[in-house]
Structure 1
Amino acid sequence: MTARTLLPALGLLAAWTLACAAPARGASPRIGSKKFTESVILGEIVTHLSRHAGDRPVHRKEVGGTRVLWNALLSGEIDAYPEYTGTITQELLSGEKLTTGGQIPPALGRMGLRMSRSLGFNNTYAIGMKEETARRLGIRTISDLRSHPALRLFLTNEFMDRKDGWPSLRERYRLPHPTVRGLDHDLAYRALEADQIQATDLYSTDAEILQHKLRVLQDDLKHFPAYHAVLLYRADLERRAPASVRAMTSLEGRITEDDMIRMNAQAKVERIPEEAVAVRFLAEKMGVQSKAEVETAWGRFLRHTQEHLLLVAISLGAAVLAALPLGILAAKQPAAGQAILAAVGIVQTIPSLALLVFMIPVLGIGGPPAVVALFLYSLLPIVRNTYTGLTDNPVEVRESSEALGLPPA
């Protein structure tokens, strides 16, 4: 296939991929969720509420982390996603120096965004113990730990290093425990179950609270910041999809911590699909009847395979068209070759996550940034191999070529 015929084919592939990867901008509304179970469940609940209101929502599941979702919301790639007040004040709007939750809506309003009231639960850090151990020792609050200095506390490494983690918790509550060690989150739960430790840190809506029958100790001195679950959405969604906004905000105050723990446990422990968990909650708690369209494992495999093949075909085809001339130029012009090889080498060292974070505000989410990233990472091996193939030919091969009358490479 020549370059003249390859370019139109690549263009058609690109158009097909982008159409599959991202719904049209006119679709209403586009719901995002982060790459963890609780966020996906909340995204599914919001999506089904919007559909029940008569709109045609699209749920973009597990788009990425906090910063990726935030940038997508600001750029208009998504219309809404679930977030936490602590994350908003401590990370997203940290430069605003917000001290109260009431300051968040005006700050968001200046960016063209809106925030719902709390969905009803607070997913913050907490200290947990086995219910049986806590009941036997009479421990209900974190302050009660002062009376039991011999208890073995193992905390996650992240919690040990956080400003609002162990150092400040120990100082605030004057906890006397002399030796507190760091431990992996999953290992800490197993150690609790085996009575090898007596307390650890956790998130207040973790599925493991129900699974391991843990008691969440009351933060009686209000040490941990509030991480109330809320919905962030674009202000113009009130005009484009008012029924969806009313449906989404009807979720305010409807999800308790026990509800969220139970839903997380259904998804993580019982392996029930997040969409089915969301549909069950809506039917039981809000009287909303909806249908879960659960994708089979085989269907998911085929869909992802198609997406990957298309992305690779587009990015690799474009990389070949760009990198082959660059490799030839690098071999023909040593001065230019140094710059070309250095440039494609530097691109190769950029972490993929950092590259995507920079591209999403410009290209949005979905297919386009993935194609560009794959294209950039494909340049180095093609340029390098082309350059090496042209410059490292053995002398005997060159002499034979000249003897046969072949033109110089």
Structure 2
Amino acid sequence: MKRPLVSAAVVATMLSSAVATQTYADDALVVSSKIDTEGSVLGQMILQRLSAAGLEVEDRLQLGGTSIVREALLNGEIDIYPEYTGNGAFFHDMTDSPVWHDAQQAYDTVKAKDAELGLEWLTPASANNTYAISVRGDVARENGLETLEDMASFINDGGDYKLAASTDFVESAFALPAFEAAYGFSLDDDDLLVLSGGNTAATMRAAAQQTSGVNSAMTYGTDGGLQALDLVVMTDTKGVQPVYQPAPVIRRAALDNHPEIAAALAPVFESLSLETLQRLNGDVAVNGLDPAKVAADYLATLED
């Protein structure tokens, strides 16, 4: 959902095929999103909020992965969609820069870089949908575990701990090894259940079901199953992982034509905390609700 982009050649091929079969209303704002659960919820919020503000909108939600939607925005095929600040590292070939580990610097950097391309970043959510380690709720509550420092102390004091994670998470220098180095703990093979692929649904399920003694899981910060499975995200107080805050990104030409869009969307994204997005994503991914209804019900609460 927010990892490195596919090649330009693949993007061009997929775009040419998609665009050739689609037309857009000349006077409508084309609202799009990525194909994942959170993209559908955030996209619906943008679509419905702008429609309620009296703007004519066209629904192009769940268009594809990051590279497809980003290229469509740059090409003027869509006008606005929700993106993550941390992806600026890949968009602008800055993956080695430390700015992506600080929320404000990440936002300021991608905003400035994209402005040069005629794109404007609007108000972001405070939620951070990045790599995380989450602990079973009962273990977290019984042992006062809220942060990765707390978790590290628990492990180093001999606490019963076992993590379910993907091979990439365990072996990639920026993932588990980076957490271990920053927080001063170490997991050996007996402390890990390594699962093929990077599907957090599998790691969360292993923790929830205590598979092979697992009580912790590799997750993303706003995964929809976290609250349903009673898993608690350990706060990364040292900023080991890049920050991935969602925010609307819009073509400057569209914003110039409708400057009221910024004010219309600001309170929506300002309200989206980590826990709120976890719950909304869970309503779709776990409870099977329609993203349009989840968005509509949430927006109604902001009007109360």
TM-score (norm 1): 0.61
Question: Cα distance 1:286–1:224, how it changes in 2: closer, same or farther (>3 A)?
Answer: farther
2:7 matched to which residue of 1?
none
1:215 maps onto 2:232 in alignment: yes
Unmatched runs of 5 consecutive residues or more in structure 2: 1-17, 100-104
- Aligned residue identity for 2:91: L
Counterpart selection for 1:269 from 275, 286, 302: 286
Give the conservation status (yes or no) of the 8 Å contact 1:127–1:200: yes
- In 1: Cα distance, 2:20 partner to 2:178 partner: 50
More strand by share: 2
> Please, which moves more after superposition, 267-276 or 163-172?
163-172
2:31 matched to which residue of 1?
31
1:117 matched to which residue of 2?
123
| Structure 1 residues 348-383: Cα deviation after superposition (integer angstroms, max 9, x where no partner) | xxxxxxxxxxxxxxxxxxxxxxxxxxxxxxxxxxxx
Name the count of aligned residue pairs: 269
Higher relative contact order (CA 8 A, sep 6+): 2
1:40 deviates by: 0.8
- In the TM superposition, 1:72-87 aligns within 5 A as 72-87=72-87
| Structure 1 residues 203-229: Cα deviation after superposition (integer angstroms, max 9, x where no partner) | 111111111111111213221221111
- In 2: Cα distance, 1:47 partner to 1:187 partner: 32
- In 2: Cα distance, 1:78 partner to 1:67 partner: 13
1:159 maps onto 2:169 in alignment: yes
Question: Cα distance 1:236–1:112, how it changes in 2: closer, same or farther (>3 A)?
Answer: same
- In the TM superposition, 1:199-210 aligns within 5 A as 199-210=216-227
1:182 matched to which residue of 2?
194
Question: Cα distance 1:83–1:156, how it changes in 2: closer, same or farther (>3 A)?
Answer: same
- In 2: Cα distance, 1:138 partner to 1:52 partner: 44
Counterpart selection for 2:248 from 208, 213, 231: 231
1:258 matched to which residue of 2?
275
User: What percentage of residue pairs aligned between the two structures are identical?
Assistant: 24
Any runs of at least 4 consecutive aligned residues in structure 1 with deviations exceeding 6 A, and if so which?
Answer: 17-20
More helix by share: 1
- In the TM superposition, 1:335-350 aligns within 5 A as none
Give the conservation status (yes or no) of the 8 Å contact 1:43–1:61: yes
1:19 deviates by: 9.8
Between structure 1 and structure 2, the one with the greater Rg is: 1
1:333 matched to which residue of 2?
none
Question: Cα distance 1:117–1:31, how it changes in 2: closer, same or farther (>3 A)?
Answer: same
1:53 maps onto 2:66 in alignment: no
SS state of the match for residue 251, structure 1?
A: helix
Give the conservation status (yes or no) of the 8 Å contact 1:114–1:233: yes
1:140 matched to which residue of 2?
146
Question: Cα distance 1:111–1:151, how it changes in 2: closer, same or farther (>3 A)?
Answer: same
1:168 matched to which residue of 2?
178
SS state of the match for residue 225, structure 1?
A: coil
Question: Cα distance 1:191–1:240, how it changes in 2: closer, same or farther (>3 A)?
Answer: same
1:186 deviates by: 2.8
- In the TM superposition, 1:353-392 aligns within 5 A as none
Unmatched runs of 5 consecutive residues or more in structure 1: 1-16, 288-409
CA root-mean-square deviation = 2.2
- In the TM superposition, 1:238-253 aligns within 5 A as 238-253=255-270
Counterpart selection for 1:193 from 208, 215, 219: 208
| Structure 1 residues 173-213: Cα deviation after superposition (integer angstroms, max 9, x where no partner) | 12122123422533322221222301111111111111111
- In 2: Cα distance, 1:18 partner to 1:96 partner: 30
1:65 matched to which residue of 2?
65
1:97 deviates by: 6.7
TM-score (norm 2): 0.81
1:48 deviates by: 0.7
- In 2: Cα distance, 1:192 partner to 1:18 partner: 42
- In the TM superposition, 1:305-344 aligns within 5 A as none
SS state of the match for residue 272, structure 1?
A: coil
